[in-house]
Amino acid sequence: MRPDLLAVVARFQEDASWVADLGFPALVYDKGGDWPGGIPLSNVGREAHTYLTHILAHYPEFPNHVLFLQGNPFPHLGEGADTAFLVAKALELLDRGACFGGLAWFRARCDRLGRPHQMADPAKKGRWPGWGKDIPVGRVFEQLFAGPAPKTFLASAMTGNFLVSRQRILARPPGFYRRALELILADPKDAENTGHALERLWQVVFNGNKRLNRADYPG
């Protein structure tokens, strides 16, 4: 029986033809402007903008699980990964009863400034305005959640490719996602690395701990 699963794909200029081979429904949000059947979005805010836009547009009507993916997730899934590998990984998480799971082959432990990181990698200079700066993981945490930021984070959904259950999405009220989207839109070109910070916080966003919800989210 086909799982109650939807893929949400954040595309820029990647070849997303692989989506047709997933075997379950998918929505391609297109920031490149040239993907047939794609849902057009402005090219701002990295994949976090895409994911938050989708959640707010569909809240609270989600399938049992949503698979959030970059336009070309495969380099992050492991050597030789292809669509079949991606589907098998997602089904493995479903078989385990996972409510959340990152798909990348690696995790990252970092502090409140995202350190250690490779944001000053000379090979990436000029790719985005936030090159060379730290990642405001702690600051974004405290803008989104109740209480102080922990000293360290274990980012288990690096690269922004992950599976999450409907239950975990709904553990945060719509105002939470509005606040997160406001933060992203205030840094549209990622000059302050807000999008990179959310990449290191997805496991907190979707951990199901409602005690982290604030009382002052926008209505």
Residues 172 and 168: their CA atoms lie apart, in Å, by 8
Measured at the CA of 10, the angle between CA 17 and CA 188, to 5 degrees, comes to: 145
In this predicted structure, what is the pLDDT of residue 205? 99
In this predicted structure, what is the pLDDT of residue 1? 56
Answer whether 42's CB lies under 8 Å from 31's CB: yes
SS3 content of the chain, % helix, strand, coil (to 5): 35, 15, 50
Residues 68 and 43: their CA atoms lie apart, in Å, by 17
Q: What is the CATH number of domain 5-107+156-207?
A: 3.90.550
Average pLDDT, 10 consecutive residues per value, the chain (219 residues): 88 97 97 94 97 99 98 96 97 97 96 96 92 98 98 97 99 99 98 98 99 95
Single pTM value for the model = 0.97
Which position has the token pair 């549209």? 188
Residue 36 phi/psi, 5-degree rounding, is -60, 130
In this predicted structure, what is the pLDDT of residue 156? 97
